[in-house]
A and B are shown apart, each in its own frame.
Chain A
Amino acid sequence: MGTAHLRLIAVKHLFLACLLLPTVALAAETIGIVTMQEGGATLLRGASRYVVAEGVRLMPGDILELADKAFSQVEFTDGTIVGLGSQSRFLALSYPPAGAKASGGELFLLRGWMKLASAPQKGRAIDRYGSPLLELNPDGTAVMQVFAPEAAVFMESGEGRLVQVSGTGRTGDPVRLKTSQFFSCKQDQRGSLAARPSQAFLGTLPRSFMDSLPARAAKFKERSVAPKRSGDFTYAEVQDWINSVPAVRRAMVSHWQSKLADPAFRSAIAAGLKEHPEWDRLINPDKHQDSAAGNKSGQPELSGSR
Chain B
Amino acid sequence: MKLVVKFNLVFVGVFVVGLVVAGFVSFTLLQNNARDEIVQNARIMIEAALSTRSYTSTQIKPLLDTQMKYVFLPQSVPAYAAAEYFNDLRQKYPEYSYKEATLNPTNPRDRASDWEADLIGRFRQDVGQKEVLGERETPTGRVLYLARPIQVKSESCLSCHSTVDAAPRTMLEHYGNANGFGWKLNEVVGAQIMSVPTAVPIQRANDAFRVFMLSLTAIFAFIFIALNLMLQYIVIRPVTRLSQLADRVSLGELDVPEFGVRGRDEIGVLAQSFGRLRKSLAKAMKMLED
Contact = CB atoms under 8 A, between A and B. Distances in A.
Interface string B162-188: 000000011001000000000000000
A195 B71 CA distance: 13
Interface residues of A, number: 13
Interface in B169-210: 169-170, 173
B93 interface: no
A215 interface: no
Contacts of B70: 154, 156, 197, 202, 205, 209-210
Contacts of B69: 156-157, 180, 210
A272 B59 CA distance: 57
B240 interface: no
B173 A212 contact: no
Residue of B67, B70, B170 ringed by the most chain A CB atoms within 10 A: B70
Interface in A173-191: 180
Interface in A155-185: 156-157, 180
Given A210-B66, A211-B66, A196 B173 contact: yes
B66 A196 contact: no
Given A180-B169, A195-B169, A156 B66 contact: yes
Contacts, number: 24
B169 A212 contact: no
A196 B169 contact: yes
A205 B169 CA distance: 18
Nearest to B67: A210
A133 to B, nearest CB: 22
Contacts of B170: 196
Contacts of A197: 70
17 contacts: A156-B69, A156-B70, A157-B69, A180-B69, A180-B169, A195-B169, A196-B169, A196-B170, A197-B70, A202-B70, A202-B71, A205-B70, A210-B66, A210-B67, A210-B69, A210-B71, A211-B66
Interface of A: 154, 156-157, 180, 195-197, 202, 205, 209-212
